[in-house]
Structure 1
């Protein structure tokens, strides 16, 4: 068994033994964490940590459900605006429990909002290395086949990266196909038609059936400059489609995406943290 769920009166958590590496060392993770009081949370977390310790791992990451392909991170600061689509829920008690138990923030992220009227003012430099094209809306399975291949290359050097099987990837992403809008999904293709990058945007359906904001959810590239071109295409298309604002979602503080978001003068409205604990031998 590589995972176990613990429940007490007023709290629940799942421990996963086969998490990603942290500083080159295998780590367990804790996720699916909820509690009605700090005391209840500390009690159930203690049970999860005892299980992890007895099973061997000496490092723990959280909140994280298995790995970074799944839900992870806790809200650490907020302007109290409503959560956007697929955003981690704010759970102040969970944050208090982690800190009370000795977890410290080891990686930080943010989301920012920008009026589309002020974005995409200057086209990026022309290039012959790739061209940008919108998804034609056809063959979503083929779309995610390409995204899987590029993602496993582009994200492999990221902190806390853990490989995922093709089957697991498709099982996670195919159910979101009905949410996709082809005008907010872009590819960067080299002259030989191989994929140099992709960008996934989606309407913020958390606002209801007629959202006014579009989320720049995920992008990755293998060619220098592709991310800048993809972001320009997304902002331009979202503005044309009638959205009034863009959300730059869940960006690592040290990522190049953070500089691009700042260059658009986007305002940070939420911060998140991933926390870690080193268990004593």
Structure 2
């Protein structure tokens, strides 16, 4: 990725000049790694970033986003009262105001919610012959994440702000967390031919310490109708058996199916996030 960091005595940010697709824009840049000691300083840096993006041919600028949605993106728009969970994006107290004052608007909204395990897993989905659910056997993590990469690229290709990521870059992101993974929280759906049709990635919330009582449903994807429902059901069954008392539904888009299912499971929203955009 082509990047440039702007650093002054009162703040810094980084620009990625080859950002993801956004609407009708022919070329989009992103800004991330923002450190704004004040809204005024952040606004000034964002104006400078917009000027550089225009010079590079961009017609749209979005942020906070470290190049694409595979990496850190979004700012916290409603902090709530709970402490951050593992892998949760954070932002400074002046970030949202700085983006707004620099002419950015909210272009996508997200939330995280929690639900007591006592209220899960809910009704068992209907049995099906279309796929089977299995847990990771704990071996060959590169093989695991290669399968996850391939299905992710397929399942997320039509999502807003999608940008392809190479297998090498994808593995580089996930290898550091391998020692933290628990086999029973990594689930797959496979069809009768053994082909991967869905996956769910969960992880204990180690932000609570070495023996956390909350577990994060981080990501799931499916190209098979009904697989997502079964994956989440089995995740809750396994997590409950492991002794977790709270499930965190992490970073869901306001409009997607997982958000609807979270609400049906009785989850309470504890944090909100926003992605900001500006036409140049």
- What TM-score, normalized to structure 1? 0.97
Distance 2:35 2:146 in 1: 34
Aligned-pair distance for 1:103? 0.3
Distance 2:221 2:72 in 1: 19
Tell me how many residue pairs correspond in the alignment: 279
The SS at the match of 2:98 is: helix
Trace 1:1-281 onto structure 2 (pairs within 5 A).
2-25=2-25, 26-279=27-280
Distance 1:155 1:121 in 2: 27
Distance 1:214 1:4 in 2: 37
Structure 1: stretches of 5+ with no match in the other structure: none
- What TM-score, normalized to structure 2? 0.98
Aligned-pair distance for 1:122? 1.1
Distance 1:209 1:221 in 2: 31
Q: Deviations over 1:222-274 (max 9, x none)?
A: 00010000000111111110000000000011110011101100000011111
Aligned-pair distance for 1:3? 1.2
Aligned-pair distance for 1:166? 1.3
The SS at the match of 1:22 is: coil
> Which shows bigger deviation, 143-152 or 33-42?
33-42
Structure 2: stretches of 5+ with no match in the other structure: none
The SS at the match of 2:218 is: strand
Q: Deviations over 1:132-188 (max 9, x none)?
A: 111111111110110011011000000000011111111111121111111111000
